[in-house]
Each structure stands twice: as structure tokens, then as C-alpha cells.
Homo-oligomer: A and B are copies of this chain.
Amino acid sequence: MVSTWSDKMLLLLRRMNNFYLPGSSLERCLPFKVEGEQVGWLSPKVASSTLSRFPAVFRPHGGAVSLAPSLDSYQKRSEAVDGVLQELREDETYACLKGWRHEKYEVMARYCDTPVMCMERAATSLFGIKRYGVHINGYTRNGNGGLSMWLARRSTTKQTYPGRLDNMAAGGLAAGCSVRQTLLKECEEEACIPASIAERARPVGTVSYTYEDDDGVFPESQFVFDLELPSDFKPQVGDGEVQAFYHYPIEKVKDLVASDEFKPNSAMVVLHFLIRHSIIEPDTEPYYHEFVTGLHKTL
């Protein structure tokens, strides 16, 4: 029976890394390769039933799927794959493509590599493409040294996790945008935080994990920032992705991240904050080690 806070957080980390667990589709998935380097994972269904219908674009070989050799540039690859995705979008085989966002994500083997193509955000899970984002912990320091954190309640009309609690601001890294640009954009759009304040945000690491669900495989990494806000500053609802902001003592936030109310990957970002700010300690938290490694899986 799962009951304690520690057990719940450990379960959350296991769920968010379920691609690595026994019984996942990992062993059946095929690497998706571009220029000889693996950039994603394809389920047997996507590889065999779907992509094999497009031999001018996709080429199976040696237990992997690559692109046709003629697709030898960023632009050619991006356009050819986008053409296939447009067809798939119409035949409605994959529910995730209904959430088409007109937002391109870069595709590369490692974040430090030059992108080899870009891909519509809604399709990345079908190809198991690594996705990167920015999450911002907004917090304040009380007079007595205690911490409070700003949380967002997601709009009920959001495609994913409607109505759940979330970090103060967050967003995916779209093609051509730097981490800092994304940070400033999301702070402004989601929480009406002016650049003069948002630029004080400090990068403090990344949180990385890989899960799978009906929509495919999600290897994700979030660049994490801490933004200490003046005590008289309040984030405001901006573009409608958020319906409300709450300002809670860190102990209440700690309780909330173990509840089903929280968006799971955002709960991981809060756990990372709790560890870095010494809210949990190695001698009293039995899974301290498991928490740190669960937050930092190699994609």
C-alpha cells in the first residue's frame, strides 16, 4: 500500500521513467537514425505499419529506420517528413496528431549537436524525438528565511493536463529559440512577468526522464531556472494557458507535488528545487539517492 510522501514521489519518478522499466516497449522499439546517429525511437506499429508505406522517405535497415539518402539536408529532411505527417494527420491513425500545434522542434542526437531536421511538436512522440523545455520556479524568501513558491493552475482548456497545478511558467524549446529567449517569452506570456524581472532567473541544472504512453515515447529534458521574486510582485494570468496563480509556503508545495493535482514533470522540477534548497535531507529522506538519479536519467 502506497501511503507516505516518499513512496508517492518514488512512484512518480518510476512512472516518468517507465520507458526504462521491464515490460516497456523499449526492447521492441527501433532506433530512428539520421546521418547514422540515433535521434529517436519508433514503435513496431509506427515503423512497420505506417512508415513502411513511404519508401521514398523512410528506409528500414539493420534493425533501424533511416531516411532516404537523397534527403541530405536539414530542409529536405524536414520537408519530406512533414509531407508524410500531413498525410498521417488526415487519415487519423494517430490521436496525437490531432493536437497539431504548428510549432517546430529541432531533431538531434544530443542537445550539443547541430540539428539535422525539425519536426512538428505533436509528432515528436511518434518518433521518440528528444524534447527540451524550460521550467521556472518562482519563489520568495520570507523574513525568517523560509521559502514560498508561486504555482500556476493550468487552464481547463489546455490539451495536456487541464486544470492541474504547474510551475509558475514553462514552455517547450521551439526551433531557433535559445533557452533564455524561451524563458523570457514564457514568463511574459504565461505570467505577465516583465523581462526586467524575468532576466534575474538563474539556471540551476536540468531534469531529464523518458516515459511512454499511448501517444508514443517521450524522452524529455527541462532546463530549470530559479527566479526569486520581490515580495510585492504577483504573477498575473496572461495568454490564458493559466487560470490562476497561488503563493504557498514550501511545506504546502511539498505536500501538493505528491498529489494527483500536479502535472507530473512539473512535480519533478519542484522535487529538484526541494533537494537543492535543502528542504529534504539525506539522513531523513530514505529515497534521497533514488530521487536524484530519477530526476537525471540520460536520454
Contacts and interface: CB of A to CB of B under 8 A. Distances in A.
A185 to B, nearest CB: 14
Question: Chain B CB within 10 Å — which of A112, A204, A221 has the most?
Answer: A112
A50 to B, nearest CB: 30
Given A178-B283, A180-B283, A296-B296, A289 B204 contact: no
B205 A292 contact: yes
A204 B292 contact: no
Contacts of A288: 111-112, 206, 223
Interface in A159-182: 178-180
A290 B292 CA distance: 16
A287 interface: yes
Contacts of A178: 283
Given A180-B283, A275-B205, A110 B298 contact: no
A223 B110 contact: no
A293 B208 contact: yes
A296 B298 CA distance: 8
A281 interface: yes
Interface string A269-299: 0000001101001110011111011011111
Interface size class on chain A is: 20 to 34
Contacts of A275: 203-205
Nearest to A223: B282
B287 A112 contact: yes
B221 A289 contact: yes
Given A205-B292, A208-B292, 9 more contacts: A110-B290, A111-B289, A112-B286, A112-B287, A179-B281, A180-B281, A202-B278, A204-B278, A293-B296
Query: By DSSP majority rule, is chain A's interface helix, strand, loop, or mixed?
Result: mixed
Given A221-B289, A276-B205, A298-B297, A283 B110 contact: no
Copies in the complex: 2
A292 B290 CA distance: 16
A292 B206 contact: yes
A288 B287 CA distance: 26
A5 B293 CA distance: 26
11 contacts: A110-B289, A112-B286, A179-B282, A204-B276, A205-B275, A206-B292, A206-B293, A223-B288, A292-B296, A293-B298, A297-B298
B290 A299 contact: no
Nearest to A296: B296
A179 B283 contact: yes
A221 B299 CA distance: 20
A129 to B, nearest CB: 15
A278 B203 contact: yes
A180 to B, nearest CB: 5
Nearest to A112: B286
Counting chain B CB atoms within 10 Å of each CB, the highest count among A110, A111, A203, A204 belongs to A203
